[in-house]
Amino acid sequence: MRLGVKSTLVAVTGAALMLGASACGGAKTTSGGDDGGDKKTIKVGLAFDIGGRGDQSFNDSAAAGLDKAKADFNVQTEDISAKPDEPDADKEARLKLLAGKGYQVVIGVGFAYTNAVNKVAKDYPNTKFLVVDADQCKVEGANVLGACFAEAQGSYLVGAAAALKSKTGTVGFIGGVNVPLIHKFYAGYKAGAEKAKPGIKVLPAKYLTQPPNFEGFQNPALGTEAAKGQLDQNADVIYHAAGGAGIGVIKTVAAAKKWAIGVDSDQYNQPAVAEAKEQILTSMLKRVDVAVYDFIKSVGDGTFKSGTKQFDLSNDGVGYAPTGGKVDDIKTQLDDLKKQIVDGKIQVPAK
């Protein structure tokens, strides 16, 4: 009987786990209708990868772009999240659902949407599609735009900042999930640190979880543990590329009075880590919001161009955040490195 209770519990927990996993976020919002009837309303549909709105990171950055567009233009928006147990077919179905309902602008956030957008765009020639983080920076179709980001370049600069600010000579890196995308962040970071201060010790990257467990982008407790580990190894600057889990990293590092480096958006201004902001050295900016906003704008004013668009240091699609003035003293060095990358004198490794 004792086993019985346990087994039932486990079965029920398993069921609950599954239900929890299948319950993903989504929200529909309409606005912007009040600022005039002179312009046609654009209907924008945005499909997230798993995580969705509220991940304090990548998806939220896309959502910020969407919200800004909603505030500035006459648009109606809808966003839908993905489920972890879905194959490509479900992503296609989601895009078809949006396009079929008359959304003229459809955005797939995350490289996983690349194939799905390429396929669905053919069936809806009058709908404009955007893939954020287009895989291998390749898309197909006259109505598709792919946005690619040079994460390694931005990470290179924050790596240099970390090395220049480190007193112990050891800097750390915490990645959310062990996937190629996050490897790029580490590669750039390591190269930048070693360039700025030869002989600096860059700790091996710590990845919080292995795919398909994407908790490493969500669970701050994991970030906290990993940050403690790297602090114990004498790191005094730690860069995280771990989405929501990075909140744990920043708070832990700040509590130890060491430097943390944020990611994706300017985390100095983020309410979730407001208490730790004085210990945020800088943030590696990845302007997904700009990509989304510009795309919606281009469709709105008829300047849409298909193909791919590279967001790198040269057009400030990636970069570092100077907010808070913590990197003012090394700004000239960072800007010099930036110029060398833009001029092609420094090749940033992405692997």
Applying CB under 8 A, which residues contact other proteins?
Answer: 1, 4-8, 10-11, 14-28, 78, 80-81, 83-90, 93-94, 96-97, 101, 111-112, 133, 135-137, 178-181, 210-213, 350
Nearer to other proteins, 168 or 210 (CB): 210
Nearer to other proteins, 10 or 221 (CB): 10
d(CA 95, CA 79): 11
- Using the minimum distance from each CB to other proteins, give the nearer residue, 75 or 327: 75
Shortest spacing between CB 46 and other proteins, in angstroms: 12
Smaller CB separation from other proteins, 81 or 166? 81
Least distance to other proteins, CB of residue 216, Å: 11
Residue (88 or 336) nearer to other proteins, CB: 88
Q: How far is the CB of 99 from other proteins (least distance, A)?
A: 12
Shortest Cβ 290–other proteins spacing (Å): 19
Pick between residue 24 and residue 346 the one whose CB is nearest to other proteins: 24
Distance of alpha carbon 290 from alpha carbon 296, whole angstroms: 10
Q: 253: buried, middle or exposed (CB in 10 Å: 19+, 13-18, 0-12)?
A: buried
CA-nearest of 253, 164, 233 to 200 is 164
Q: Which is nearer to other proteins, 16 or 142 (CB)?
A: 16
Smallest separation, CB 232 to other proteins (Å): 23
Name the minimum Å distance from CB 49 to other proteins. 10
Least spacing, CB of residue 94 vs other proteins, in Å: 6
Cross-strand bridge partners of residue 77: 29, 44
